[in-house]
Chain A
Amino acid sequence: MATASADQKNLTNEQLEDVRGPSDFQLAMYELKGRPPAIIALFIVFTVITLAFIPGVFAPHDPLIQNLDTHLLPPGSEVKGSYFALGTDHLGRDVLSRIIWGSRISLIVGVTAVLFSGLIGISIGIMAGFFGGWIDTVCSRALDTLISIPFILLAISIVAILGPSLEVIVSVIALRTWIVYARVVRGEVLALKENEFVVGARAVGCKTFRILFLYLLPNVVSSCIVIATLYLGRMIIIEASLSFLGLGVPPPTPTWGGILADGRGYIDTSWWITFFPGLVLMLTVLSVNLLGDYVRDVLDPRMKRNVD
């Protein structure tokens, strides 16, 4: 990309824009036009976020009220003036409303786990890459160890011991994902720290802290955004798997995995209880993944190998 050099100082803003070329955001928007799947994905993700923020507005029924008169109704049933578009479960709760309310837990867990693990992974990765030596050795061995324990097994053991709560579930999921950030960031920092701008910063007397935060951190942010979007979908699936195994946020709070688990026992008579939450879960994860691919292509095409 062309940058404004010293003798172009007198240019007007408009001319400067021509020289600089389009910004990242403009590039992203331009790229979006050529990718209809990404547009649809963006739309679906936006819808799920809206539902998660104000579920009460969209849910036609209370997700918790049980009513045995209306239990196991097929989709499209109408009883005493109440309409159940996606049917009801074994306790007479409206499946559509439960799915809408369930989007909350999925999003909260997914987003906080991604941010939390990013915070840990980036700090550790930067330190390991920058300082090297024993810090690097200890971190790398810790990564090797954590990655060698089958994750779902570790997760269910910890949740079983500490008890299922939102905090525990987020921490357990973050426990695995920070590794991905740490590995990528460590590698990038190893290469970055040899660059002239870091050596220069050191030569003019910058403190280590300043170098870490102002010189190295901004340069790893784009890969981290890519990891975050690519891993968000996996986090959502892991949360749903834990709920499905009965180790998620405890009932009666509706979660997508939990609704599926409820429906499992009625699959031979009432397929809708398992079908719809799973469909919504898959569409959400699919959209997030499509967006992840798209963000990667825009921000950092080199990452293709590292993160897959």
Chain B
Amino acid sequence: MKTYIIRRSLQSIVVFCAILVIIFSMLWLTGNPAEVLLPVDADQEAIDALSKEMGFDQPLYIQFGYYLFGNPHQGTGGLIRGDFGISSNHEIDALELVLSHFPNTITLAVCAVLIAVILSIPLGVLSATFRNTWIDYSSSVCAMFGQSMPNFWFGLLLILFFAVWWKVLPTSGYEDWTYLILPSATAGIYATARITRMVRSQMLDVLEMDYVRTARSKGLVEYVVIIFHALKNASIPIVTLIGLELGILLGGTVVTETIFSFPGVGYLVVDAIATQDFPVVQAAVALLSLSFVFVNLFVDILYAWLDPRISYS
């Protein structure tokens, strides 16, 4: 178990380093930064001079070194000190800006997962218990719709109903908890559908097991059998999926945040992209990828811990 945790953590570090390489190459796809910094009519000589001054004329691997450990030509600190550069829009440190929006994204992702869990577990359990009845059919149809629903359209529909027609909930910004309801419902719909289907199929497997039959033949009440014997044993893959969905949501609330003008990292990124503010984009991609890698690592270790039957060699 210990070796597994160490190996798995090392793997995550390798993955994160590779992500940094990708983020660095994103910078180079935009062209020579010197050209971007200078006015449009600058001649080649001026571009070369600035390239030399800033160190843009060095080979790429050295520049990557600068990027990670700081550039002596520019006096920047490098990623290792959390220096992604200065946001050109907000004129403050890019990472600081992203970090200040991060708690909102976490809140949104956690609320979305909570909604998903509260809805999907009872739905999945019910449809497995009452297999092939109208309860099962209607919950499966809902799950199918949920998986096929483009979440930005769902978000707009929610705005249309709850804000425009019934005027009961706010649509944009983030002031108190009522501002969280519509965005979390929008972000959580896909996770709800996926977890519902997973709970259903896991429960169907478990309900056929001998220990469930034993529990029933002992004369236990049905709901005790379902909840304490079946659901408990079906829970490991479900917990894993919930963890994975949380990871996906941390990085995937971009569209939801845009629809509701919710001040999270995703909204910030879309805004930064529109204004070519690349330090912010890079800092955001790095931070969200890091949290995704971290959540996945945690889920994998949790899985190994919950299910000791599986050996990881």
Contact = CB atoms under 8 A, between A and B. Distances in A.
Interface of A: 141-142, 144-145, 148-154, 156-158, 160-162, 233, 237, 240-241, 244-247, 257, 260, 263-264, 267-268, 271, 274-275, 278-279, 281-282, 285-286, 289-290, 304, 308
Interface in B149-192: 149-150, 152-153, 156-157, 159-160, 164
Contacts of B164: 267-268, 271
B270 A264 contact: no
Tell me if A's interface is mostly helix, strand, loop or mixed: helix
A240 B154 CA distance: 13
Interface hub of B250, B269, B276 (most chain A Cβ within 10 A): B269
B150 A245 contact: no
B289 interface: yes
Interface in B90-140: none
B145 A152 contact: no
A141 B269 CA distance: 27
B212 interface: no
Contact of B150 (A148, A158, A160, A240): A240
B22 A260 contact: no
B19 A304 contact: no
30 contacts: A144-B11, A148-B292, A149-B22, A149-B292, A150-B254, A150-B285, A150-B288, A150-B289, A152-B254, A152-B255, A153-B251, A153-B254, A153-B266, A153-B269, A158-B29, A160-B273, A161-B30, A162-B29, A245-B255, A245-B258, A267-B156, A274-B153, A275-B157, A279-B153, A281-B150, A282-B150, A285-B149, A289-B144, A289-B148, A308-B197
Nearest to A279: B153
A117 B194 CA distance: 23
Contacts of A233: 148
Contact of A141 (B15, B26, B149): B15
Given A150-B251, A282-B149, 12 more contacts: A144-B11, A144-B15, A148-B16, A149-B19, A150-B254, A152-B254, A156-B273, A157-B269, A161-B30, A271-B160, A274-B156, A285-B148
Contacts, number: 127
B148 A158 contact: no
Contact of A264 (B147, B156, B273, B288): B156
B231 interface: no
Contacts of A245: 254-255, 258, 270
B293 interface: yes
A275 B147 contact: no
B281 interface: yes
B284 A153 contact: yes
A139 to B, nearest CB: 13
A278 B250 contact: no
B69 to A, nearest CB: 21
Contacts of B269: 153, 156-157
B252 A152 contact: yes
A274 to B, nearest CB: 5
Contacts of B51: none
A244 B201 contact: no
Contacts of B19: 145, 148-149
A16 B29 CA distance: 61
B209 interface: no
B11 to A, nearest CB: 7
Contacts of A246: 274
A278 to B, nearest CB: 3
B304 interface: no
Contact of A278 (B153, B273, B293): B153
Contacts of B248: 150
Contacts of A267: 156, 159-160, 164
A149 B153 contact: no
A208 to B, nearest CB: 29
B18 interface: yes
B50 interface: no
Contacts of B152: 240-241, 244, 257, 260
B192 to A, nearest CB: 15
Given A161-B29, A278-B156, A151 B252 contact: yes
Nearest to A269: B164
B14 A241 contact: no
B198 interface: yes
B87 interface: no
Closest 9 CB pairs of A and B: A150-B251, A278-B153, A286-B148, A145-B18, A160-B273, A285-B148, A161-B29, A149-B289, A268-B164
Interface in B258-277: 258-259, 266, 269-270, 273-274, 276
